[in-house]
Structure 1
Amino acid sequence: MMDVDIAIVGAGPAGLSFAQALAGSGLDIVLIERQPESALADPAFDGREIALTHASRRIMTDLGLWPLLPAAEISPLRDAKIMDGASLFALNIRAAAVGEDQLGFLVPNHLIRRAAYGALKASGAGRLVTGRMVTGLDRTRDAVTLTLDDGAAVRARLVAAADSRFSETRDMLGIAAARRDYGRSMMVCRMAHELPHDHVAWEWFDYGQTLALLPLNGLQASVVLTLPADELAAVMALDEAAFNADITRRFGNRLGAMRQTGTRHLYPLVGVYARRFAGPRCALVGDAAVGMHPVTAHGFNFGLQAAERLSQRLLRARRLGLDIADPGLLAEYDRVHRQATWPLYQATNIIAGLYTDDRTPAQMLRKAALHLANGLAPVKKAIAAHLTQSAA
């Protein structure tokens, strides 16, 4: 039996960041991860580019992750534009509206994972138990005991579930989650193109498809194509020449000819929001708490905020001589993180629903909403402030 203060199930970037946020606390922390450690030390490229806010850069700097990112792989996200249908009209969101020179930063997901692992190894904030799955859970008044698939057991004063939006640990803890299947899948792929993107991100709600362009350094970008699964399967099956022609056509030649430079990756679109973020001797962080639709680009930003908010309360409990699973502090974490995430989760669902509805009334409403927002400077400023989170 391994006895620890905190057991974190899931050593993805959210779980690793949470452990790192407790570095130097004296707490005995173990992270349980089903992947082998080699996959944490050198994660494979998965196609995803993560949009990070200024607040997230600050948290990652505090945790020692930001200095471990290759500078050449950090792409500035200067401005953004939102388009609807075939119209050339765009709602432009400019960082200058909130006194910033850029909205945020784009960093490949696998490099964030690698940096989180490197920071944890350097700090020694937690031990890793890799290649293992949690198969059972027993909770008493004083501890939670996790049974692993090799028969070993870990007893912890607090368990943190950080094992994805499809968290099995969350289910074992008896915490329900609202799930929304958006009925679409997304493909991500790096593409080179002829015309400059000027480091402006695109969100293009075209009819029959949704396109996003995440500007990377140089004349290349990460293309995100969202379609029903069967239609996307046909795109995935195209040979490279046909794929290049298809993506160029879908983007209306607005960036000239486009050419595949990275591998294609397919992901289902499912949103998740847990009914509770904490309970007796347990808490949820990362996507186990809130799994966002990527349209608002806030998934990992919320994961970092959860790591910071929960760790702050555990450190306060330690300073005050309280149980680290003090019910009052866990309830406070639940309340604060819910207040920060619920409005955007709901707004995201509304946007995703409206802007993938191609019926005539919805098309009219979509266009009207963009034109109205474009004419209201306070609205555009509020969107820019939300995207930058420079004051958070």
Structure 2
Amino acid sequence: MQADIVIVGAGPVGLCLARALSGQGLRIVVVERQRLEDIGEPRFDGREIALTQKSVRLMQKLGLWDHIEPDARSALRSAKVFNGASPHALDIGHELSGHSELGWLVSNHLIRKAAYDALCASNAQHEDVTLLAAETVSGVKTGDACARVTLESGKTLTANLIVAADSRFSATRKMMGIPADLHDYGKAMLVCRMTHEAAHGHAAWEWFGYDQTLALLPLNADRATHAPQSSVVLTLPVGEVNEMAALSPEAFSRDIERRFARRLGAMTLTSTRHVYPLVSVYPERFVATRFAAVGDAAVGMHPVTAHGFNFGLLGVETLGSLIVSARGGGLDIGAASVLRRYEDQHRRATRPLFHATRFITDVFTNNTAPARFARDFMLRAASRLAPFRRAIAASLTG
């Protein structure tokens, strides 16, 4: 099969890139190991995505936003950072950003569904995207003239450009021989939805406790009970997380209530629980001969700064615009000059925050007495620095 672009991975970033390129006179093939029914009707996976204002604008441009019900979008109006048992918090309000909210929270499975629906709508008009579901890439080979993807089914795809969008553990990136700085934190995240007695005021919490990290992402009220509802993210060593996941719903609810020091009152589990390894990844290169990586395959962020999918959309916007520009100018879309510009721009946009996030997690999860004192001092000092708080608000809004 001949194509202009082969995108490996039909997650939200891969689908968004295909949607961004649809209608531009390109033949696009998307390869995904999941079945078509799982791509088109993804299940709840526990993850709530914090979208910046910039990401929302891009989703609107791509036609995704209208595919998400307004009741499924939760406003994020402020962010609070706590340290240990101290009631003091670094508070970042939406008024610092010039917006009525810092951003929006939307479930990952709903973003995936919206991306798929928007792509299908565009493809119905342009007929330029082929989605090969239940297919696995077994080999990748690129050269000066073209690139070739071999599938386990025996099919061979030839293209001008291959794009990896197949997770932070990208097998496609590895096949291209690109090493990555992978940092395994030795911990895992448990994510779920819970209702609670106290109102959250649409404020996100990041609570660096001693021997645990808690996050609270404010969602709209539970539809059945109208009780305040949030996504809870608990980070612990892998063994402890697995023990928590095995508790009965009642025992789990009481334990989470205790971990939050009952600041939210009684808490009740309202969803399935999901566990994810905590690993950050930054490849040595984003590009190679007729190859580029986007999404988590390019930058696999620690979730503490909530920029993972936002960086993925940024990569879609950057790479997509360069491809469209090259196509419009009659240039080779897989040319080294095009891909170098993508790498330079995306690296400048992502590397500073990636390393800042590593620093934050190292300092705020270190439980030695000097580190506890230092981070409490840092939070109190930051609370008094309006320019610093405005800078964080600007980062959260994108």
| Same-fold call, TM cutoff 0.5 | yes
Residue 278 of structure 1 aligns with which residue? Answer: 287
Distance 2:151 2:96 in 1: 51
Residue 76 of structure 2 aligns with which residue? Answer: 77
Distance 2:53 2:142 in 1: 39
Q: Helix, strand or coil: the match of 1:325? A: coil
Q: Which amino acid letter does the alignment assign opposite residue 48 of structure 1?
A: R
Select 1:368's aligned residue among 377, 380, 383: 377
Residue 343 of structure 1 aligns with which residue? Answer: 352
Residue 203 of structure 1 aligns with which residue? Answer: 206
Residue 174 of structure 1 aligns with which residue? Answer: 177
Residue 131 of structure 1 aligns with which residue? Answer: 134
Distance 1:377 1:35 in 2: 47
Q: Which amino acid letter does the alignment assign opposite residue 121 of structure 2?
A: A
Q: Helix, strand or coil: the match of 2:54? A: helix
Residue 163 of structure 2 aligns with which residue? Answer: 160
Structure 1 window deviating more from structure 2 (147-156 vs 119-128): it is 119-128
Measured against aligned partners, the alpha-carbon deviations of 1:72-101 in whole angstroms (never above 9, x if no partner) come to 110000001000000000000011012111
Distance 1:225 1:67 in 2: 31
Residue 215 of structure 1 aligns with which residue? Answer: 218
Residue 4 of structure 1 aligns with which residue? Answer: 3
Residue 93 of structure 1 aligns with which residue? Answer: 92
Residue 13 of structure 1 aligns with which residue? Answer: 12
Q: Which amino acid letter does the alignment assign opposite residue 224 of structure 1?
A: V
Structure 1 window deviating more from structure 2 (189-198 vs 230-239): it is 230-239
Distance 2:143 2:346 in 1: 26
Q: CA deviation at 1:41?
A: 0.6
Distance 1:24 1:138 in 2: 27
Residue 52 of structure 1 aligns with which residue? Answer: 51
Q: Give me the TM-score of the superposition, normalised by structure 1.
A: 0.98
Q: CA deviation at 1:193?
A: 0.2
Select 1:256's aligned residue among 234, 257, 265: 265
Distance 1:237 1:13 in 2: 29
Residue 108 of structure 2 aligns with which residue? Answer: 109
Q: CA deviation at 1:136?
A: 1.1
Q: Which amino acid letter does the alignment assign opposite residue 358 of structure 2?
A: N
Q: Helix, strand or coil: the match of 1:3? A: coil
Q: CA deviation at 1:126?
A: 1.6
Q: Give me the TM-score of the superposition, normalised by structure 2.
A: 0.97
Residue 191 of structure 1 aligns with which residue? Answer: 194
Distance 1:183 1:362 in 2: 19
Q: Which amino acid letter does the alignment assign opposite residue 191 of structure 2?
A: V
Q: Which amino acid letter does the alignment assign opposite residue 205 of structure 1?
A: F
Q: Helix, strand or coil: the match of 1:212? A: strand
Distance 1:182 1:244 in 2: 26
Q: CA deviation at 1:278?
A: 1.3
Measured against aligned partners, the alpha-carbon deviations of 1:228-280 in whole angstroms (never above 9, x if no partner) come to 01111111111111111100000011010000001110000000011111121
Select 2:143's aligned residue among 127, 140, 145: 140
Q: Helix, strand or coil: the match of 1:21? A: helix
Q: Helix, strand or coil: the match of 1:197? A: coil
Distance 1:164 1:100 in 2: 32
Distance 1:285 1:126 in 2: 18
Residue 225 of structure 2 aligns with which residue? Answer: none
Distance 2:113 2:78 in 1: 27
Measured against aligned partners, the alpha-carbon deviations of 1:302-331 in whole angstroms (never above 9, x if no partner) come to 000101100110111111111011211210
2:143/2:289 contact within 8 Å kept:
no
Q: CA deviation at 1:127?
A: 1.1
State the identity as a percent. Answer: 53
Q: Helix, strand or coil: the match of 2:4? A: strand
Distance 1:64 1:237 in 2: 40
Q: Which amino acid letter does the alignment assign opposite residue 74 of structure 1?
A: R
Distance 2:305 2:129 in 1: 32
- Please list every run of 5 or more consecutive structure 2 residues that lacks an aligned counterpart in the other structure: 222-227
Measured against aligned partners, the alpha-carbon deviations of 1:29-85 in whole angstroms (never above 9, x if no partner) come to 000000011001100100000000000000000001010011111000000100000
Q: Which amino acid letter does the alignment assign opposite residue 273 of structure 2?
A: R
Q: Does 1:34 align with 2:30?
A: no
Q: Helix, strand or coil: the match of 1:290? A: coil
Distance 2:243 2:324 in 1: 51
Residue 64 of structure 1 aligns with which residue? Answer: 63
Q: CA deviation at 1:378?
A: 0.4
Structure 1 window deviating more from structure 2 (359-368 vs 230-239): it is 230-239
Q: Helix, strand or coil: the match of 1:373? A: helix
Distance 1:48 1:223 in 2: 10
Distance 2:50 2:244 in 1: 25
Q: Which runs of 4+ in 1 moved over 6 A?
A: none
Aligned residue pairs, count:
388
